[in-house]
């Protein structure tokens, strides 16, 4: 197991020093889903939610969250994001909406937190826009799907690894 590097010799929380690292191309993909009722699913698909285009607004919220991650997560470095996409897939058989966030940059630190933050904000936005219809929605399974770049190498999530 890797050692934590967000602490100094005295145990104080610190931002990791990346000044000596070389920039590399880095990507991260995260996903999560929100379980919704039939009524919400139909309202979203037919764009009949009173607050507006749910997936359109959630897409913007996710992208905005990616760009603001270092303002919310204390030890994250501010990054120059070079690409961000926020996509949705309606999973009718599961009564769910899957959110997938892809983030790319060239830098000295990865974009995993940005992708996870984007997914979380997008799902919370769906909840906010649909809560007047039904508050029993459930956010679920938010996780890193893959990452590339950096010294720790590439990562691809396997559902077989998910039990701790």
User: In Å, what is the CA distance from 32 to each residue of 23, 98, 105, 147?
Assistant: 29, 6, 22, 16
The H-or-E segment that residue 66 falls in is: helix 54-67
Nearest to 122 by CA among 72, 70, 76, 55: 55
Pairing of strands 83-91, 96-107: antiparallel
**76: nearest Cα among 32, 118, 34:** 118
Catalytic residues: 128
Q: Write out the two tokens for 31.
A: 């996903």
Instruction: Spell out the residues 6+ positions from residue 47 whose beta carbon is closer than 8 angstroms to its own.
Output: 53, 54
């Amino acid at each position: 197991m890797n050692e934590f590097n967000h602490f100094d010799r005295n145990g104080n929380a610190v931002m990791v020093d990346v000044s000596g690292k070389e920039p590399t191309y880095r990507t991260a993909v995260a996903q999560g889903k929100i379980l919704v009722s039939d009524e919400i699913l139909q309202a979203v698909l037919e764009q009949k939610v009173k607050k507006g285009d749910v997936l359109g607004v959630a897409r913007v919220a996710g992208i905005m969250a990616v760009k603001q991650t270092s303002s919310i997560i204390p030890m994250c470095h501010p990054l120059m994001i070079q690409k961000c996409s926020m996509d949705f897939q309606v999973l009718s058989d599961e009564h769910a909406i899957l959110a997938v966030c892809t983030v790319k940059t060239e830098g000295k630190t990865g974009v995993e937190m940005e992708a996870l933050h984007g997914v979380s904000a997008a799902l919370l936005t769906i909840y906010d826009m649909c809560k007047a219809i039904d508050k029993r929605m459930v956010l679920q399974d938010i996780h890193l799907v893959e990452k590339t770049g950096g010294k720790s190498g590439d990562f691809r999530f396997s559902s077989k690894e998910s039990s701790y």
